[in-house]
Amino acid sequence: MNFLKGGMYMKNIDKLEKLKKSFERNKDLVTDALYKDLGKNFEESRLSEYYPVISEFDYFLKNLEKWSEPEKIKSFFNFIGCGTIIQPEPYGKVLIISPWNYPFNLTFIPLIGAIAAGNEVVLKPSENSKFSSEIIKKIIEESGVEDISVVLGDRETTKELLNSKFDYIFFTGSTKVGKEVYLKAAETLTPVTLELGGKSPVIIEDEHCLQDAVEKIIWGKFFNRGQTCVAPDYIYLPTGLKDQFVELTREYIRKNGDVQGKIINDEHFERLENLLNNQNIIYQNGKIDDDTKNKGLFPFTIVLNPKDDDPISQEEIFGPILPLVEYESLEKVYWDLRLKPAPLALYIFRSDKGNLSTKGLKAGGVCINSTMLQIIDKRVPFGGVGYSGLGQYHGKYTFDTFTHYKPIFEGSGIKISMLRKVINLILNKIKK
């Protein structure tokens, strides 16, 4: 540990402390930028963007020393003067491409892990959240950490970056763009983490948990006006409960207020509008007109039983639209979901509270009798599977993502004659 304490480890601690101080100094600008880009109020900005980043800094500063330790491996080689260690090492130069929906959270959480592991980072924040991207650049530059460069620009800028050689690429965004990143990385066999999305379903298994389910589903859907990768995307609801679902939704909104934030831009507003074409709208808390379009205030909308081949059933909604899909057979719901791409999140509501079964469904993560909370604990990995992503991060998992664990064997105690005897003993046992 002497080398690490005197070298890389202490340097990485120093970088994290500088970044944290710069982030804290600019917290009011962070809040202002989030309001301009996404209409986030003070409470949501602090809850979803500022405090998670500060907490991640603190977690790394507390644990980085032990994570950076070489691990000594115990084996019979130790008895003959040999040994193996596993040495954590940085990949080298990494590219982090971050999205617009949680621009500070989803930029700094991977960045903290990359810097803690000792990497040099090129950071490309989203052009859609332009005010936040400018503040990200300001925070990095004011930190004085020289191993981070921030590149601002549009999609063409991202494409140019992907033509450069990196030792690791970390991408957060849509599955469509994620595939493009993956293909580009494959040309140079560059390892990647892809944090994508998908359609995260909610299964309400029985009517006894309906009120609890509605409150938690709407709470999760209302965050950031539905622009969250793990937001409930659509609901499987037992037939005959739709009226109760709508009435409970009205009651929730009366007590707790309407959906917060705004849609990021006109393009995404129009995309959401088009998803409602030919749909059976059974509830809409507001209207779509020039005023709401100009303000990005797409109203919370519930639609009933969209067709399987409708765009709303195929695309990740990423907004305040909630389809209800009525079902007669719970068994068929689970069967149908097995045939669909694995989502980033799976939500199940059931009155049998001790039942943790997911009946074999694949998903990046599962939350039973709640929503969104599966991503909170830093000790728990976050990431997708299949079409919803590749790789995991958060807490120690982020450090692991940006670290190559290199085994080093020291074999001066071994004699070739001894090694031959060991090999012969093994071969004789195999023959028997």
Residue range 105-118, pLDDT digits in tens: 999 999 999 999 99
> pLDDT at residue 193 above 70?
yes
Work out the average pLDDT over 195-221.
96
CA distance linking residue 47 with residue 40, whole number of Å: 10
**Cα atoms found within 13 Å of the Cα of residue 315, Cβ hemisphere only:** 15
Tokens 């963007």 belong to which residue? 49
Average pLDDT (142-156) is 96
Residue 6: predicted pLDDT = 47
Q: Mean pLDDT, to the nearest integer, of 269-296? A: 96
Helix (H, G, I), strand (E, B) or coil at 213: helix
Domain total for the chain? 2
Lowest mean pLDDT among 325-339, 354-368, 379-393: 354-368
Give 423's pLDDT tier (boundaries 50, 70, 90): confident
What is the C-alpha to C-alpha distance for residues 83 and 409, in angstroms, rounded to an integer?
A: 6
For residue 155, being part of any structural domain is answered with: yes
β-partners of residue 346 are 366
Q: Supply the CATH number for residue 205's domain.
A: 3.40.309.10
Once rounded to an integer, what is the mean pLDDT over residues 3-25? 86
Q: Are residues 49 and 132 in the same domain?
A: yes
pLDDT of residue 41: 94
CATH number of the domain at 145, please.
3.40.605.10
Q: Does 426 fall in a domain?
A: no
Other Cβ atoms within 10 Å of 315 Cβ, number:
17
Q: Which helix (H) or strand (E) holds 257?
A: none
pLDDT attached to residue 258? 85
Question: pLDDT at residue 391 above 90?
Answer: yes
* Tokens matching residue 231: 């937001």
What whole-number distance in Å separates Cα of residue 185 and Cα of residue 179?
A: 10
Burial class of residue 162 in the structure, from the number of CB atoms within 10 Å of its CB (0-12 exposed, 13-18 middle, 19+ buried)? buried
Count of other CB atoms within 10 angstroms of residue 358: 15
Catalytic-role residue among 195, 205, 209, 367: 195
Q: Tell me what pLDDT residue 4 has.
A: 46
Tell me, letter by letter, the H, E, C secondary structure of 163-221: CCCCCEEEEECCHHHHHHHHHHHHHCCCCEEEECCCCCEEEECCHHHHHHHHHHHHHHH
pLDDT at 202 over 50: yes
Residues 332 and 261 reside in one and the same domain? yes
- Ranges 22-26, 36-40, 82-86, 209-213: which has the least confidence: 82-86
The answer to whether residues 181 and 255 belong to one domain is: no
**Predicted confidence band of residue 422 (pLDDT cuts 50, 70, 90):** confident
Give the model's pLDDT for residue 358. 86
**pLDDT(238) > 60:** yes
Domain containing 238 equals: 201-375
- Averaged over 415-427, what is the pLDDT? 77
Helix, strand or coil for residue 405? strand
Tell me if 122 is assigned to some domain: yes
Share of the chain above pLDDT 90, in %: 86
State the average pLDDT over residues 57-84: 86
H or E segment to which residue 337 belongs: helix 330-338
Q: Which residue has the tokens 């033509």?
A: 163
Q: Are residues 181 and 242 in the same domain?
A: no
Q: Is 328 helix (H, G, I), strand (E, B) or coil?
A: coil
- On whether residue 2 sits in a domain, the answer given is no
- Residue 61 within any structural domain of the chain: yes
pLDDT confidence of residue 78: 62
**What is the per-residue pLDDT across 126-147, written as a single tens digit (0 to 9) for each?**
999 999 999 999 999 999 999 9
Same domain membership, residue 393 and residue 263: no
pLDDT of residue 369: 96
| Digit-coded pLDDT (tens) for 357-382 | 888 899 999 999 999 999 999 999 99
| pLDDT tops 70 at residue 432 | no
Question: Which of 44, 205, 209, 229 is an active site residue?
Answer: 229
Residue 376 CA to residue 169 CA, distance in Å, equals: 24
Residue type at 47?
Answer: L
Listed in sequence order, the DSSP H helices in 39-174 are: 42-45, 51-68, 105-116, 130-143, 155-162
Work out the mean pLDDT of the chain and round it to a whole number: 93
Please indicate whether residue 209 is annotated as part of the active site: no
pLDDT at 5: 46
Judgement on whether residues 68 and 100 belong to the same structural domain of the protein: yes
In a domain, 271, yes or no: yes
57 and 162 part of one domain: yes
135 in a structural domain:
yes
Q: For position 2, what pLDDT does the model report? A: 40
Q: Is 80 exceeded by the pLDDT of residue 431? A: no
- Both tokens assigned to 369: 């009798």
Residues 310, 396: one domain?
no
Is the confidence at residue 182, as pLDDT, over 50?
A: yes
Q: Are residues 337 and 393 in the same domain?
A: no
Same domain, 170 and 238: no
Rounded to an integer, the average pLDDT of 209-232 is 96
* 256 part of a folded domain: yes
In terms of domains, do 146 and 242 share one? Answer: no
**171 backbone φψ class: left, alpha, beta (φ>0; ψ -120 to 50):** beta
Let me know whether 294 and 395 are in one domain: no
Of residues 421 and 224, more confidence is placed in 224
pLDDT at 277 over 60: yes
Instruction: State the pLDDT confidence band at 76, using cuts at 50, 70 and 90.
Output: low
